Structure 1
Amino acid sequence: MAKFLFVTDLDNTLVGDDRSLAELNQQLSQHRQEHGTKIVYATGRSLILYRELLTQKELLVPDALIAAVGTEIYYNASESDPDPAWEKQLSSGWNRDLVVATGTNFVDLLPQPASEQRPFKVSYFLTEQAAEEVIPHLESLLKEQGIYAQLIYSGGKDLDILPSQSNKGLAVEFLRQHWEIDATQTVVCGDSGNDIALFSVGEPRGIIVGNAQPELLQWLSANQADYRYLAKAACAGGILEGLYHFGFLL
């Protein structure tokens, strides 16, 4: 057995099945202790909402936290300052004030709570019905103003606007290179649209949990590969299933 880099989304991926989560925690904790495996959470949550989750669920202390849909990396969640090297990488060409001003042109965009508005992330609620028209129009307006942002829509309700150099997958690549871990020894897990980047940056082993959202299943259908696995079980049970499938656990 060799060390690997384990990366997972939180809501409805790692979290959602407490019994399987307890088993997975035990397996990962032992593997980290014996082989030096790295554990990373990659969430859409801000650091504030991540800390709230810690009061509700039993989670292992990660080696790194990727928060705010990949725009912030923390090595110690008790601290409030994200990795400055990663932030520097995101700042080129990003104008948050202009992104916010552009969003005011769309009545269908409802700003998410203040805790979820981050230096490199602007977040809205947007209905599925309105999304088909709003997203391409908004993307076009941003490009006209010289802002090459990523628009990530997930769960049929959440729209996040990020710098083009940032998402969960690129943040994982940053950590993978920092720790010098090969993509073949990296496994990523997710359930929704904002996890697509986890599976599409490089060729890590990918686990899509059985309760995945339609947008992720649609993407997987068009991007099938032997290094991506669609689990039958939901949440942490699906992660365990995938880890056995790829041979990370025996």
Structure 2
Amino acid sequence: MSVAPFLFVTDLDNTLVGDDDALEVLNRHLSQHRQAHGTKIVYSTGRSLTSYRQLKAEKSLLDPDALVTSVGTEIYHSNDDTPDPAWANALSQAWDRDLVVASTSHFSDLVPQPQPEQRPFKVSYFLTEEAAVEVLPQLKSVLKERGLDVKLIYSGGKDLDILPRHGDKGLAMQFLRRQLGIDAKQTVVCGDSGNDIALFAVGEERGIIVGNAQPELRRWHDANSSEALYLAKSSCAGGILEGLNHFGFL
């Protein structure tokens, strides 16, 4: 087991959560390492703060040192209910949410997600895989024509999030990593779907892709494999344990 502190950043649904027995074992290791060596635990989820709290009431999750919600567009520290103002300020540059919504309104295949998932720096829709083939290129073109410098993240064959250009899970992770003063090589990120690609694509952080990863993430891994990425055989928390041992963090 490494005696140096590390930054542990993980997605929740179908990554950390999904195998309760493995989660119990992983929680024990992470809790011990945090107490003994000062390791930091961060959850990075597509869920809103409200939805995260619902999950936490249902599952045995450790209290994180920081929480990244809404696909990287909001950062909360410890138990603070107010998003990090510096991160919010960074995302607000050149972001026009009303124009984004207006620009998507004539795409009948875009079905708005429930209101709690619509956030200040995130506009979210359901979009089928079949429709996505035609809709995504057209949507990108419309948004560009209207001068909107945004990022489209499609994951799980159904979820489309439109974010500010400088907002995603990977950039939020790096923002937190710099705040905490932890080196990229002492940082490990974990995920299972397309909205986690940003976690793996930004720098020298170590990445664990769980064994039950979605096809879009597996395809990305096949095209971008490296020694800094580990594709686990086990699913969910079991895959995370496998990866943490592979990289020597546990």
TM over 0.5: yes
Counterpart CA distance in 2 for 1:146 and 1:63 is 37
- Residue deviations 1:72-103 (CA, integer Å, cap 9, x gap): 000034x4310000000001110000000111
| Cross-structure match for 1:15 | 17
Equivalent-residue separation in structure 2 for 1:135 and 1:63 (angstroms): 36
User: Residue by residue, what CA displacement relative to the aligned partner does 1:176-226 show, whole Å, maximum 9, x if unpaired?
Assistant: 111111110000000000000000011210000000000000000000000
Q: Scaled by the length of structure 1, what TM-score is found?
A: 0.98
How far the C-alpha of 1:160 sits from its partner, in A, is 0.2
Give, in angstroms, the shift of residue 60 of structure 1. 0.3
Q: TM-score, normalised on structure 2? A: 0.98
Counterpart CA distance in 1 for 2:78 and 2:114 is: 24
- Find the residue that maps to 1:146 and give its secondary structure: coil
> What is the Cα deviation at residue 140 of structure 1?
1.1
Q: What is the alpha-carbon distance in structure 2 between the residues aligned to residue 167 and residue 241 of structure 1? A: 26
Equivalence for 2:176 = 175
1:28 equivalent in structure 2: 30
Structure 2: any 5+ residue segments left out of the alignment? none
Which amino acid counterpart does residue 203 of structure 1 have in structure 2? E
Secondary structure at 1:40 match in 2: strand
Give the 5 Å matches for 1:27-176.
27-77=29-79, 79-176=80-177
Poorly superposed stretches of 4+, deviation over 3 Å: none
Tell me, in whole angstroms, the C-alpha distance in 1 between the residues paired with 2:137 and 2:78. Answer: 37
| Cα displacement string for residues 136-188 of structure 1 (whole angstroms, at most 9, x for unaligned residues) | 11111111111111000000000000000010000000001111111100000
Residue identity opposite 2:131 in structure 1 = A
Moved more, 214-223 or 137-146: 137-146
Aligned length: 248
The answer for unaligned runs of 5 or more in structure 1 is none
**Identity over aligned residues, as a percent?**
69
CA distance in 1, matches of 2:72, 2:7: 16
The residue identity in structure 2 corresponding to 1:185 is: Q
Aligned to 2:247: 246
CA–CA distance in structure 2, aligned partners of residues 177 and 53 of structure 1: 28
What RMSD, in angstroms, separates the aligned Cα atoms of the two structures? Answer: 0.6
The question of 1:234 aligning with 2:235 is answered: yes
Alpha-carbon distance in structure 2 between the residues aligned to 1:149 and 1:3: 35
